[in-house]
Every structure is written in structure tokens, then in C-alpha cells.
Amino acid sequence: MENLLDFCGQKWKPMRQGELTLFLPKHPPTREGDTYFHASMQFVPPWLDEEDSESAFRMLYVDFHGELPDLRDWRAMAEVTLEARDEVVVLGEKVMAEMRPPEIQLWSHGMRGAGGIHEHTCAGWDTRLSFGAWEGDGYELPVELEAFYPSERARKAGIDLAVKEFFGEVGPEDWAKAELLNEGWRLSYRGRVRFDDVSCTVPINTADPVQWARNMARRDLAMTEFGFCRVNGGEWFTGAFKPEDGICGDGRLVLVHTPTEFFYRWQEEQRKKRKAS
């Protein structure tokens, strides 16, 4: 069912729309054209009343992240599928590039009063992620996420079968092992995420870090419209920031947000105030 997360047969509904971030580093990645992305979603059991949904102890958090190959325009995220794929070379010429599947992380808070964070197998998932066509105001992206976490028996059976297949020793007695390959946890989600912002790392000493970040987004992702933009830790509306805000490694982190309905209303209110004064 759309907009419900299925985790091992248990259904979860989203607390709010998931948000997707693209990352533009100060120094481009070694894999030319690849753009790192990260998306976060929060889910609660569907039987919860709306007033109960804010309980952190009833939430399941799902994060997924990876690389979008050869992304020169943010709009090109649409209709992209990310999955494990080997490089294909024909007659010495690369005809299909290697593709790495996205990684996912599942986590939740501990039981009420116990504290702590429970991580649910953050590594080792086999994943496939597909983006659909842009919807809504042009920044909403349908997603289909499929993930499988093999059990220990499934992993062992896979290794044993691979070795036997290599030596040509697979026989009828190994069929039971083949059935184990599907044993494990399964996760699926069909819904939407919103392209929320671009995280840009700019030089620390630039006089206008926000403008520098906007220029990066224009150049590297062909963005032409922007919402609120700010140095990480700075003011949302005024853009003011302290010298220590956003410092990370050898750069300063700036968040370039996409425009929203709230942003356009705020812009209109500012115009009315300036006109009235």
C-alpha cells in the first residue's frame, strides 16, 4: 500500500513527509559527477491517534543515502533507479558504469524511561531505490525502496553455494540451502520525499557564504530558485550568523533550501511591510 512502510510484515505510517538533501563539497569527489544524497523519514504504527504520534519511543527512523551518478541538474533525479551493478566493458570500452546501491539505517529510541538508541542492522542490507517523476509543487519525488537483510543462515548458505558452484559441485542435496537464501528481514516503502535543501561547504573566509553556496548550486545542480538560505546555526529569516557558525573541517556549512509555500508567503509579507513603510 502506498505511503506505508512494511517492515517484516508490520505496517508503519509516516509522521511527516521525508526530506532529501543533496551535498556539494568544497572539494569535488574523486568519482566525477557523483552527488551524495541523504533522506530521512519517521514512522509510527498506523493505529496511533494523531495526538499520540509525537512520542519518540513509538517512532521508527529510516535513513537512506547514496550517490547519484553524473548529476548535473537536480531535476535529473527523477526516474533514476539505484541498485548494485557491475561495470560493463566491451572490447576495452566501458559501456556501463559501476553503480553502488544506497545504504539504509533503521533506528529507534529505547523503551520509555530506558533511554538510549536502538540500531537495527545499519549495515548489510541489499537495497534497491527508484525515484519517480516530480509531483506537487515540483519538489516532491515519489520513491520506491526495497531492502532485504539476509539471516545468518542465509549468508552462510550463500557462501557455501557460491563455493560449490565455483567448483561445479552443486547437487540436489544443496536445494534446501538454496531455499534459505530468502530467509531474513524485508523492508519496502512506496511514498514521497521532498527535495528540501542542498548542503554546501564553502571557504571559511568568503565574505558572503550564502551567495557562494547559491552560486555552487547554480553551477553544479542548475538550480535557479531558492528558498531560505543560511549558514548552519545562523538565523533563518535574516541570514545573520556568528563567525563560529557552520565551521566544519576546512570549510563553512551553508544550507540552501528549495522554495516552499511558506517561503513565498513570507516573501509577500515582507514586500507588504516595505511598501507600507
Neighbours of 59 (CB within 10 A): 18
* C-alpha atoms less than 13 angstroms from C-alpha of 59 in its C-beta half-sphere: 17
List the chain pLDDT tens, one digit each, 277 residues.
Answer: 478 899 888 899 898 889 999 999 876 554 456 799 999 999 988 777 666 655 655 788 899 999 998 899 999 999 999 988 766 666 677 656 667 889 998 888 654 444 455 566 566 788 999 999 999 999 999 999 999 888 878 777 777 777 777 777 777 777 777 777 778 889 999 999 999 999 999 999 999 999 999 999 999 999 999 999 999 999 999 889 999 999 988 899 999 999 999 999 999 999 999 988 7
In whole angstroms, give the CA distance from residue 238 to residue 53: 32
Residues 102 and 65 sit within 8 Å (Cβ to Cβ): yes
Distance of CA 190 to the CA centre of its chain: 14
